Structure formats: C-alpha cells, structure tokens
Structure 1
C-alpha cells in the first residue's frame, strides 16, 4: 500500500510543477540573465531612436541650433568675467553689455584677420600645396619598390571628394555660404548670447524646477560642471591655438617660407580640431616650403611644427586646460570621427569639447568629487 500510495502523490507533484512552470513562462523568460540583457538592449535601442530623432530635428533647423550652441560656448567661456564684474558691484545689465561688446569685437577682429590674410593669397597657397603633393607623388614613384599609380590616384580622388563633399562642408560652412542665413544666425547668436550672459543662472534654475532632493543636487552639479568644463576647454584651446599660430608663424618667417601669414592663420583655425588639425597644418606648411625652398627647408619646417606642438602639448596645455580636461588620444580620435560624420566641420570642432563635458559630468554624478559608480577606479583589493 505504501508503494501504491506514493505513486499518485509523485504524479500530482510533477503535474503541479509543470502547471506552475507553464503559468510562469510568459514573464519568467525575462527574469534570467539573457532576459535582462534583452531588456537593456531594447532600452538602448529606444534611447538611440530618441537621440536620432532629436539630432535629425536639429539638423533641419541649423539656423537656430548652431547660433544657440555657439552662444552657449561663448557664454561658458566668459562666465568667469561675468562673475568677476558682478562681484565688484557692476550692475548685471552693464556687465552683460560690456562682455557682449567685447565678444562681438573679438569675433569681428578674428574674422577680419582671416579674410585679410587669406583672401589675396589663397589661390597661391592652394597652388603651391597642390604642387607639393605632386612632388611627393613623383618622389614616391622613384622608390625601389613599386606602388600602383592607380591606387594613389584613387586615394587622392577619395580624399578630394570627401573634403569637397556636401557632407564634410555641411553645418557651419553651409550656413555661412548664404548671406541671409549668416546674418540671421549672427543676429540670433548675439540676442541669445545676451540672455545667456545676463540671465544664464536664472534660466538654468527654471529648467531645474521639476527636480527635488538628490536629483536637484545632481542636476546642479551637472550644470556647474558642464559650464566650467566647456569654458575651460574653449579658453584653453583658444590660448593654445594662438600660441601655436604665433610660434609656427615666427618659425616660418625666419625660414623664409612664403605665405607664412595665411599659414599661421590656418594653424590657429585648425588648432581647434585636436591632433588632426595640427597634423594638417604641419603637412600644408611643409608642402609649401618644399615647393618654394626645397627639401631641406621643408624638413626644418616639419621640425618647427613638431617642436611647437611638443612644447604646447607637454607644457602649455596642461597649465591652461588642466589634467582633468585631458582626454586620451584614442577617445579624441573616436570623437572626431563621429563628429565629422554626423556634423561635418562643425561636428569635428565641437566633438571634443562635448566629449570633455560628458566626461566631466560623469566625474560629479554621485557627488562633487565622486564619479559614477561604473567610472570609479578599482582598488587593488577589489581587483584581487
């Protein structure tokens, strides 16, 4: 009887187990590791879709988005000036007008210098650079090993198409090409910059109204860190670009390289694109020296460019921008690639400062000096 009595009990237990698993099946599949991974994947896809929609929407109204972004950058760069004048008792409106007038004058002087230095000599600069490229190609043809000329021509054509394409020149250049859009954007830039300078803290406080408690404190930290990081990066980059332009320009003038002034201006502009900009400026200067002064002079030009970049990278940049803003070269290259593909020239210029701001926000996510949990350095005992 005992054996006969145990058998039905076993069957009932097994049947109830099957029924329980059948009832839990629809949602229990999301409770294991693979289910959680699937949920995270869906969340990432949703975030990417929202980001793509926002980005495409902003691309359709670049006349608005570009001036607002530039105004935010300039307001962040001159935020210490505004704080200093307000601390000295200067009325907010007067401090805003003084700062705004200073920014407009500086932008006007830089634009005038660029046009004056490059306008009359751009054709000659382009011709000499093109001739220098041809000389390098001819020299490559004399090497003991064979290089397919068709492959070289294909590389040159690909680079030329990329540089002259609408994708690479979109954004800022496309807006500047139309006079009406440029004037509209510049007026909007000045107006938005005025309100950012005058009422920036109040505008940010208005955006923080929905947050409470720790979320409010975190949002405040994010805003302060974003403004300080962006301002420090822009001020440091502008100072480094100016020193690079002056140093390389003096070196080119001493070496007797023609067109040294437009080359120095291009060095200043390209310095806002880290790594890639300095390389392009050095190559262009060396090509002009190669055509006009010969191989030895071109090698001296390369030496001057390398020396100035090394002094800037090892001494000047850490002092002006701080170690905390220094991003790894790999991160910079990835950010530049993504920025160029998405936003052309303007994307290449803004990619690194935006990346620096994101990393700065991560550093204060859990506290003033407490990075996000996943971004903290692990201790040796934790690794062990």
Structure 2
C-alpha cells in the first residue's frame, strides 16, 4: 500500500501538465451536464448544446480575468506613489521608536532603498507570475474546452465502458455511486459560485465604505480566493491591508480593512456557505486542511483548488464500498455521524426556533 501511494504521487507529479487540465475539465463537465441535458430535452443537438454551454462559461471567466488583469495593471502604475508613502511611514516609525524607547534610527537612506528595492522586486515577481499565469490560462482555454467537449459528447460511451468493468450484480450500486458523485460536485461548484458572488459584494461594499483604493478589485480577488478554504481569505485580506497601510500610513486603517474581511469570513462560514452549499460536502475541517496541504504539495495552487472536490468524491466512493466505509467515516463531519438523538441544533437555529415557539404560544394563548 505504501509503495502504491508513492507511485501514485509520483505519477500525479510526473504527468501534472496533462492531469491538471483533465481534472478541471472533469469538474466543468459535471457542472455543465445538467444544462446540456436540459438543452437536449428541447431537441437541441448534443454538439450544439455542448458548444453553447462552453461558450457561456468561457465568456464569464474571460470577463472576470480581463477585469482582474486591468485592475492589476492600474495598481502597478502607482508603485512610485506607494514607495513614497513607505518612505514617510518608515520615517514616522523611526521617530516613534526614538521618542518612546530611545532607539536610535539606523541609516534611513539605506533602509528606504532596501524597502523600495524589495517592493520593486516583489512587483517584478508579481508581474512575472501574472504573465506566466496568463500564458497558462491561454493554454488552458485551448485544451480544457476540448476536454470538456469530449467528456460531454462521449459520456454515454464512457458510462457503457464503466459497465463493462463491473459485474452485472454490482452495476446498480455503481450507478448510485456515480449519481452521488455528480450531485456532490454539482452542488459544491454551483454553490461555491454563488458564495463567491455574495462574498465579492460584501467585501467590495465594506472596502468602499472605508475608502480603500481598488476596493472592487480586492473584493472580487479575495472572494475568488475563497476557492482555497481557510487560506485564501488570509491572502486576500493581507494585500488590501498592506496597500492601505502604505497609502495612509495609519495602522488603524489597515486593521479596519482586516476587520471587514474577518466579519465577511464569519458570515460566509456560519451563514452563507451552510445555507447555499448545504451539507452535500460534509468533510470535517481537519481532513479538509490535510487535503489542502497534500494537494498544494502535489499540484501547487491547482491542487489546493481541486482538494475539496476530490476528497468529497473519495468520501462518496468510500461510503459506497463496504471495506472502505471506515475511511468515509473518518472523513465525515462529526455532526453528520452523531446519532440522531445526540445531534444539537446550532445556536442560530435554536434562537430562531425559540422565537417561533414563543410566537406560537402567544398566538395560542390569545385564541384561548
């Protein structure tokens, strides 16, 4: 088993350039499958239905990428202004340290030059990463749509292929497992998109109220990073906080920016995601964090994005195959595996239920 795991990880890393686009194509194919079926019900030919759905998703993603790239280019034009603000901020910090703690300032010119050079190197790295990412996305835009088209067009052929791999008495269970995997992935991706839109609106509104520059860009960028659970929101909040600190020179303003993201993250984790995504992807946080780390180690950022859908699909497979049920139990959330009489309502649910019971009792007393 250990040798098999090592060979699997080696295989995934060796053929990363092929498997990553194929994995994303599978997710997009599962997401677009209901739309294609609906179009085919209206007598739309399958190739035309697939092309329509692919063009729709390419246009949406293209508009988002164009907006982010244009905002990023505008942001890089203000590096000189940001450098001057950093110079004044360093001067204020040194004056504060000398007045309060008697610490003599070091060579300010050298320190400022090092800070500015570090900022320029960071900007160069960001631009280089952006260019390489853009090149990768352009390559993906040519390969992934082809994969998605083939997966959707030959889906019946692939289903018959799976039937030939399984004995006749087990085909019913395989169909149910495939259906569960499809429902889990579709509910996760569609719900995640709705969550991204809601979080982007909340982030942008909060940053606009604080007067942060490029508020909509940072709001949308941070919401997209929620694709990477637990880690994405941290990265998304640090960038506007650092920009605010460099622009205004006040630490309190940067803390207010972080506070906006903390509030939005609280709302997203406790209200938005549970009600939008639901309990279809019931993975405990410890398993999710491990999956994120393993995915990042194997495939980098793409692996972190794919980690949650993959582990959700694995849980469905584990639950449907009796020898692997303990692994499915290990991945499950604690509240999902509790006996029904031991499950407790959340505080919010309990609060609203008590209000409803109070209203019902008052109405009954009034009638009496």
Q: Is the 8 A contact 2:31 2:189 kept in 1?
A: yes
> After superposition, what is the alpha-carbon deviation per residue over 1:192-240, rounded to whole angstroms, capped at 9, x for unaligned?
1112223324323323312113443333333222222222222222221
1:352 and 2:305 matched: no
Shift of 1:362: 2.3
What is the CA–CA distance in structure 2 between the aligned matches of 1:329 and 1:127, rounded to whole Å? Answer: 42
What is the CA–CA distance in structure 2 between the aligned matches of 1:206 and 1:126, rounded to whole Å? Answer: 60
Paired position in structure 1 for 2:20: 66
Paired position in structure 2 for 1:48: 5
Paired position in structure 1 for 2:54: 100
Paired position in structure 1 for 2:325: 372
What is the CA–CA distance in structure 2 between the aligned matches of 1:86 and 1:278, rounded to whole Å? Answer: 39
What is the CA–CA distance in structure 2 between the aligned matches of 1:74 and 1:125, rounded to whole Å? Answer: 38
Q: Is the 8 A contact 1:226 1:357 kept in 2?
A: yes
> What does residue range 75-224 of structure 1 map to in structure 2 within 5 Å?
75-122=29-76, 124=78, 131=86, 176=133, 179=135, 183-224=138-179
Query: Given the two structures, how large is their TM-score scaled by the length of structure 1?
Result: 0.68
> After superposition, what is the alpha-carbon deviation per residue over 1:295-332, rounded to whole angstroms, capped at 9, x for unaligned?
33333322221221111111211122112314222222
Report the number of matched residues. Answer: 309
What is the CA–CA distance in structure 1 between the aligned matches of 2:257 and 2:14, rounded to whole Å? Answer: 45
Moved more, 112-121 or 292-301: 292-301
Pick from 259, 277, 281: which aligns with 1:325? 281
Shift of 1:341: 1.5
Shift of 1:92: 2.2
DSSP 3-state at the match of 2:213: coil
Distance verdict in 2 for CA 1:322–1:128, change over 3 Å: farther
Paired position in structure 2 for 1:260: 215
Shift of 1:86: 2.8
Paired position in structure 1 for 2:204: 249
Query: Given the two structures, how large is their TM-score scaled by the length of structure 2?
Result: 0.71
What is the CA–CA distance in structure 2 between the aligned matches of 1:273 and 1:127, rounded to whole Å? Answer: 32
What is the CA–CA distance in structure 1 between the aligned matches of 2:338 and 2:270, rounded to whole Å? Answer: 28
DSSP 3-state at the match of 1:118: helix
> After superposition, what is the alpha-carbon deviation per residue over 1:149-180, rounded to whole angstroms, capped at 9, x for unaligned?
xxxxxxxxxxx9xx99x9xxxxx989746x4x
Q: Is the 8 A contact 1:340 1:346 kept in 2?
A: yes
Which has the higher Rg, Structure 1 or Structure 2?
A: 1
Q: Is the 8 A contact 2:12 2:298 kept in 1?
A: no
Pick from 34, 51, 57: which aligns with 2:14? 57
Shift of 1:87: 3.4
Distance verdict in 2 for CA 1:278–1:51, change over 3 Å: same
Q: Is the 8 A contact 1:339 1:351 kept in 2?
A: yes
What is the CA–CA distance in structure 1 between the aligned matches of 2:30 and 2:6, rounded to whole Å? Answer: 30
Unpaired runs of 5+ in structure 1? 1-43, 145-159, 167-171
Shift of 1:276: 0.5
Paired position in structure 2 for 1:362: 318
Q: Is the 8 A contact 1:128 1:287 kept in 2?
A: no
1:283 and 2:226 matched: no
Q: Is the 8 A contact 2:184 2:280 kept in 1?
A: no
Aligned-CA RMSD value: 3.9
Q: Is the 8 A contact 2:318 2:324 kept in 1?
A: yes
> After superposition, what is the alpha-carbon deviation per residue over 1:77-124, rounded to whole angstroms, capped at 9, x for unaligned?
122222322334433233222212212211221221121221221464
Shift of 1:277: 0.5
Shift of 1:74: 0.8
> After superposition, what is the alpha-carbon deviation per residue over 1:256-291, rounded to whole angstroms, capped at 9, x for unaligned?
111213312321331111111012212222222233
Distance verdict in 2 for CA 1:108–1:247, change over 3 Å: same
